[in-house]
Amino acid sequence: MLDELLARFQARDRLALARLLTLVARGEQLEAIRAALSPKNETTPVVAITGNAGVGKSTLVGKLAEVLRAEGKSVAILACDPQSPLTGGALLGDRARMPTHPEDPGLYIRSLAAPSGHQAVAQHVDLMIRMVAQFGFDVIVVETVGAGQGDIAVRELADVVVLLVQPESGDDLQWEKAGLLEIADVVVIHKADLPGAERLESQVRELLSLPGCREIAVLRVSSAKQTGLTELWSTIASCPRRSTLIEPDGQVLLRHAQQVLAERFQDRAGSVGHVVDRWKRHELDVTQAADELLHVLAR
Amino acid sequence: MDNQPPLRIVLAKVGLDGHDRGVKVVTRALRDAGFHVIYPGLWQSPESVVRTVADEDADWLGISLLSGTHMTLVPRIMQMLQAAGLRHVGVLVGGIIPEADVPKLLAVGVARIFGPGTPLGEIIEFLRAQGSRTHA
């Protein structure tokens, strides 16, 4: 069944893409799907949109998608909303703020539930990004849950991280807090039609001009008034790709290895359990059992 | 929650119908019962609903109608779901549906109709019992 799905995916069947994304979201068949994809495609730009709840991420993503479609670029949007830690339920409402053009095959919107806790994006979004890229979308936009501070995960996923801030959302000390401005490549003063936008812009610019800061673009955008949107896209497009910027970092490799290992534990739970059972029955001592586990987890 | 992955359900308001109190109550109840609810907002067209169900890989579609247009819109959506290869998606209808129209909607393939006053638990139990037709 998975083979058939993958074949349909390769033939650009949209329903197969949707189903495979569901499997990945549930953490099923990760290894097989990862293996079926061609090597990482570095040419498709991945843009992450982050910022606090209510700052207008979904709305801006929708507007940005329209700018891109007008340029003839196809867009896949992976929109994350929080999942309840108590029930596992989720209200995925990002679509409501995005345009629907059902006749347009160049726009794909997928709503994803992100587990509660520290994560700003859904699990396995890295794999989903590769899938929509291979499916042939020109630009990928990832909308985060809106955790605000500490969205470090998106930095590794995306080429360009766009941070949204809005007027009247705290004094300048708020922006000094660690983790917020640090992750951004572009800062958008959103809802720029509201009073206080200019003051906020000057605060942000002042912070970013302190010694030791990276070069970060600051733009005023209003989705309501449709201003600054094309400028935003040209700014994003001119940002250097993260993949070309980052020095090879051992941490990235180690994190990836940990992730692969975790996936294999999950995918091969049966064989792993079998080894554990044999150890419980004293058929193996702890060293032998560990060796056996390594054998099971190795390819 | 048991170990079943959460069911994905699209809840949609179709056509020029602004009465969204009911659908919002159901949205919250299903969310709290552990479902993943995708709510695309008011004034959806049949085309956009079908596109949403397809792209979101939904197990279920719930259509809320209080405008009296159910006999026009629901059969059209059912037909379009079939044409889009989404026969496996279960369809529920909620809202103001006259008694006489219920059998007609069931005849075009609607799984169940939930009128005003339906206890929320009834909808939840129904969906849990039916489960996913997609990933069975």
Q: How far apart are CA A16 and CA B86, in angstroms?
A: 12
Whether B76 is in a domain gets the answer no
How close, in Å, is residue B98 to chain A by CA atoms?
A: 29
Instruction: Kindly tell me the burial class for residue B20, based on how many C-beta atoms sit within 10 Å of its own C-beta (0-12, 13-18, 19 or more).
Output: middle
- Per-residue pLDDT tens for A228-238? 999 999 999 99
Contact B86 A108 (CB under 8 A): no
Q: Which domain holds residue B95?
A: 10-68+81-116
Q: What is the pLDDT of residue A259?
A: 75
> Does residue A41 have a pLDDT over 70?
no
Q: What is the Cβ-side half-sphere exposure of residue B84, based on CA atoms within 13 angstroms?
A: 25
Chain A hits for B83, Cβ within 8 Å: none
CB-based contact, A100 to chain B, within 8 Å? yes
- Residue A26: pLDDT above 80? yes
- Chain B residues with beta carbon closer than 8 angstroms to that of A112: none
- Bigger pLDDT: B41 vs A172: B41
Is the residue at B21 inside a domain? Answer: yes
Higher pLDDT, residue A152 or A286: A286
pLDDT value at A142 more than 90: yes
| Domain-embedded: residue B27 | yes
The 10s digit of each residue's pLDDT in B88-107 is: 999 999 999 999 999 999 99
Cross-chain Cβ contact B34/A89 below 8 Å: yes
Q: How many domains, in total, are found in chain B?
A: 1
Query: In chain B, whose CA is at the least distance from the CA of A82?
Result: B36
B41 contacts A15? CB cut-off 8 A: no
Residues from chain B contacting residue A92 (CB–CB below 8 Å): 36-39
Beta-carbon contacts below 8 Å between A and B: 86
Residue with tokens 């949403």: B52
CB contact under 8 Å between B56 and A111, yes or no, is: yes
CB A49 within 8 A of CB A60: yes
- CA of residue A96 relative to chain centroid, distance: 19
Tell me, yes or no, if A108 comes closer than 8 A to chain B by beta carbon: yes
Burial (Cβ within 10 Å: 0-12, 13-18, ≥19) of residue B41 = middle
Check if the interface score ipTM surpasses 0.95.
Answer: no
Residue A154 confidence (pLDDT): 79
Select from B34, B38, B56 the Cβ nearest to the Cβ of A18.
Answer: B56
Q: Does A8 touch chain B (CB under 8 A)?
A: no
pLDDT tens by residue, A164-223? 989 887 666 666 665 567 778 899 999 999 999 999 898 888 888 877 667 789 999 999
CA-nearest of B72, B38, B36 to B54 is B38
Interchain CB distance below 8 Å, A95 and B39: yes
Q: Is 3.40.630.10 the CATH number for A41-245?
A: no
Mutation site for A-interface testing, chosen from B26, B28, B49, B57 by largest number of A Cβ within 10 Å: B57
- Segment B74-94 shows an average pLDDT of 96
B2 pLDDT higher than 50: no
pLDDT at A252: 67
User: Which among A89, A102, A109 has CB closest to B36?
Assistant: A89
Average pLDDT over residues B116-134: 89
Distance from CA of A103 to the nearest CA of B (A): 8
Q: Structural domain boundaries of chain A?
A: 41-245, 250-297
CATH code of the domain containing B92 = 3.40.50.280
C-beta atoms of B36 and A83 within 8 A: yes
- Least confident piece of the model among A11-15, A170-174, A273-277: A170-174
Mean pLDDT value across residues B73-89: 96
> Which residue did the predictor score with more confidence, B50 or A89?
B50
Indicate if the pLDDT at residue A150 is higher than 60: no
CB A68 within 8 A of CB A29: no
CA atoms within 13 A on the CB side of B85: 9
The pLDDT of A135-155, averaged and rounded, is: 79
pLDDT of B125 reads 95
